[in-house]
Amino acid sequence: MQTYAAHTPQRTPVEPVADERVVLLEEVDFKWLMAGQGWWIDTSRLHTDPGYARQMFDLVDSTPASALRDCAALLQAHAGTRH
């Protein structure tokens, strides 16, 4: 009779799913693109205060920076798909 050594797989820390990583990178891009326009943002408040978030996204509408507008659109699209 064969015996098998008990093998317990090593657990790795829980990692965010790929979509969460993409959103995080987009948020970093957004923060620095906003800073490039002279607008400093509080990223944690961006998540918790809908009025503040709306205000920041409204600022984006007034800029000619297409990269910032594109980044903001991606963030807003992802925000609509979060649970």
The model's pLDDT over 25-54, given as tens digits with 9 standing for 90+, comes to 999 999 999 999 999 999 889 888 999 999
The set of residues, in sequence order, having a beta carbon less than 8 Å from that of 69 and lying 6+ positions away, is 60, 61, 63
Domain ranges in the chain are: 24-81
pLDDT at 15: 54
CA atoms within 13 A on the CB side of 65: 19
pTM: 0.70
Rounded to an integer, what is the distance from CA 73 to the centroid of its chain? 12
Contact 23, 75 (CB under 8 A): yes
